[in-house]
Each structure stands twice: as C-alpha cells, then as structure tokens.
Amino acid sequence: MKIDLARRNPIPRLARARVLWPLNEGEQVHDSDQHYLGAHIDADTESDRLQLLEGCRDPGTIRRLDRLGVSRGWRCLEVGAGHGSIARWLAERVGPTGSVVAADLDPRFLTDMPAGVDVRRLDIRHDDLEADSYDLVHCRALLMHLPDPIAALARMVAALRPGGLLLAEEGDYGLWSYGGHADAQQLNTLITRMLTRLAEAKIANPWFGRRLPDLTLASGLELRGSEVETRVVRPGEADYEFEWASLLATVPAMIKLGIYGEADANLIRALSGHLNSVITTVSIVAVWGQKPS
C-alpha cells in the first residue's frame, strides 16, 4: 500500500516565529520579549516552573561553581537569571567584598534579592556588557533559546576579565523519552515533532547542549571541563514534575503557534496525571572555560 505522506502530517509548516506571535489586544509585551517561549506563560505558572527548574538543577550548578573556586570578593554575572536562586547563592558566597549582577530579559521574578545584587533588565541578543570585568559569568538554559547563541556567547566572553571563568549549562533533548503508558509512543512522537518545529522556527534549539563544547572552544576560551547530566525520573520527583510543568505550561503557546491541535493538547493533559510512568529528562550539558590571561 502506498502511504500518502502529506496526509500523515496535517500540521502546517511554521512560518517565521515573528509572524506567529500575535499580541492580544492591549497586551504590553516589549517586541523583543516575544521570542522567548516563557514570555507567553502566565506569571504564576512561569514562576512555579522556574522554581521547579531551580530545585532540579541547582545542586549540580552549585557543585560546579564550588569546584570552580567561586569565593569572597569575586565579581559575578548571571545572564538569564530566571527566579534568581543562583544569583542569591553567588551573593552569599562572594560576600560584601564581591558583587553579583543578575541580568534577565524579563527580571519580574528577581525580587527580594540580597543587598549587593544588582538586578538588570538585559537582552543578551543586543545589549553589551562591561568589557573585561567579571571573574565569573554563568548562564543556564539560556543560549538554547536564542536565535544567535554564538553572538550571545561572544558578549559574555567579552565581559570576562582575562583569567575569568565562564560556566555555561544548556539543555539537550536528545535522550528525552516518556514511558510506562500504552500511549507513550504517541506522546514521544508528538514531543519530537514539537521540538523540531521550535527549531525550524528558530524559537529554540532543543539540541543545543551538544554544540556547547565546540562553541565554547570557538569563542576563544580555554576549555577547563565539562559534564552531562541526565536523569530517569518517576512521578513525585522534582525533575519529573518540572518536565510535566513545562509540557503543560506551553500547551496554549503551542496551539497558538499551530504546533498542537486539540487532540494533541488532550493527549498531554490526559497523560500528565498517569502514575506508572517514567521520563528520561532533558540533559544538561555543562561546560566551563577560562579567558586567556
């Protein structure tokens, strides 16, 4: 039997992301904010999701920052600071003789920061930073959301003082997989298609993590180390809840983009409560490098 490929894929191909992010009437979103998917999630949901992310990934990040020797007096920059947990940890670690800049395109969750943390609205796609200034620059799950991660990386490297350290930690969905339910394969196919469409529309690169070692080298840094973190998780574990929080929170945006239809949204909602399931999470590729003195 001949398979009609056109009929097997009823979702239209995406046009450019800019065209597909219509603002609702009266919505006050800065034009350049629109690119980031999280900007289309309501504030309470996004706040919860970012805190879940911190709960899952902070232990690994802090272990790496500790290993890099972050200590009293260091000048640190956190780009895409999210809900601010790492900026808070850095402030505590560097003490009153150090300084921390917590920068984000959308700094609405960077509240109640300790004294000495300078919260900045910054768009790393366009805004320059102080040259040769920081002992440490850190980002996590940021570059994968940018249309030109190489330019953003170059800005962060330029902000490092000679001898300064960059720790970049980015996601890679290469191993992502859901199992434990009869419809698991249907969900995996849907998620792969969704990630592919986001990549095609240049909204995000879900497989960016694997590029990080090479891009760090190409940025002129001396590569000092790297790690990849993936987990296999069950309901009730923080990573499992984060994966589902992200899938559910982005359903309205995916419908708006034409990536999900109603049946897809229903499948996601139905499987989200299933208790006998297992997820292999997004991997975090962490790379650290040093600016030559």
Binding part of the chain for ligand SAM, among 14-22, 118-126, 226-234, 266-274 by CB under 6 A, reads: 118-126
- Residue 9 makes CB contacts below 8 A (sequence gap 6+) with none
Burial group, residue 184, by CB count within 10 angstroms (0-12, 13-18, 19+): middle
Distance of closest approach, residue 267 Cβ to ligand SAM, in angstroms: 24
User: In the set 117, 122, 166, 233, which binds ligand SAM (CB under 6 A)?
Assistant: 122
> End-to-end alpha-carbon separation of the chain, Å?
65
140 binds ligand SAM per the rule CB under 6 A: yes
CA dist 119 and 107 (Å) reads: 7
Binding part of the chain for ligand SAM, among 122-130, 205-213, 275-283, 284-292 by CB under 6 A, reads: 122-130
141 binds ligand SAM per the rule CB under 6 A: yes
Binding part of the chain for ligand SAM, among 87-95, 100-108, 224-232, 254-262 by CB under 6 A, reads: 100-108
Pairing of strands 232-233, 278-280: antiparallel
145 binds ligand SAM per the rule CB under 6 A: yes
Between 49 and 277, whose beta carbon lies closer to ligand SAM? 49
| Closest residue to ligand SAM in the complex (CB) | 82
212 binds ligand SAM per the rule CB under 6 A: no
53 binds ligand SAM per the rule CB under 6 A: yes
106 binds ligand SAM per the rule CB under 6 A: yes
User: In the set 125, 181, 231, 256, which binds ligand SAM (CB under 6 A)?
Assistant: 125
Binding part of the chain for ligand SAM, among 4-12, 50-58, 187-195, 199-207 by CB under 6 A, reads: 50-58
**β-bridge mates for residue 169, sequence order:** 140, 286
Site string for ligand SAM, 149-178 (x = CB under 6 A): ------------------------------
Q: DSSP assignment of 70-108, as one string?
A: --TT-EEEEES-TT-HHHHHHHHHH-TTSEEEEEESSGG
CA dist 46 and 24 (Å) reads: 19
Please state the separation of Cα 221 from the chain's center in Å.
Answer: 22
User: In the set 65, 68, 80, 117, which binds ligand SAM (CB under 6 A)?
Assistant: 80
Between 250 and 277, whose beta carbon lies closer to ligand SAM? 250
User: In the set 124, 191, 194, 257, which binds ligand SAM (CB under 6 A)?
Assistant: 124
Burial group, residue 43, by CB count within 10 angstroms (0-12, 13-18, 19+): exposed
**β-bridge mates for residue 103, sequence order:** 79, 120
Pairing of strands 160-172, 134-140: parallel
Distance of closest approach, residue 143 Cβ to ligand SAM, in angstroms: 9
Q: Is the dihedral of CA 9, 12, 15, 18 positive or negative?
A: negative
CA dist 52 and 241 (Å) reads: 8
> Which among 119, 110, 117 is positioned nearest to 96, based on CA atoms?
117
Binding part of the chain for ligand SAM, among 94-102, 129-137, 138-146, 180-188 by CB under 6 A, reads: 138-146
Give me the residues that bind ligand SAM (CB under 6 A), please: 36, 38, 50, 53-54, 79-80, 82, 104-106, 122-125, 140-142, 145-146
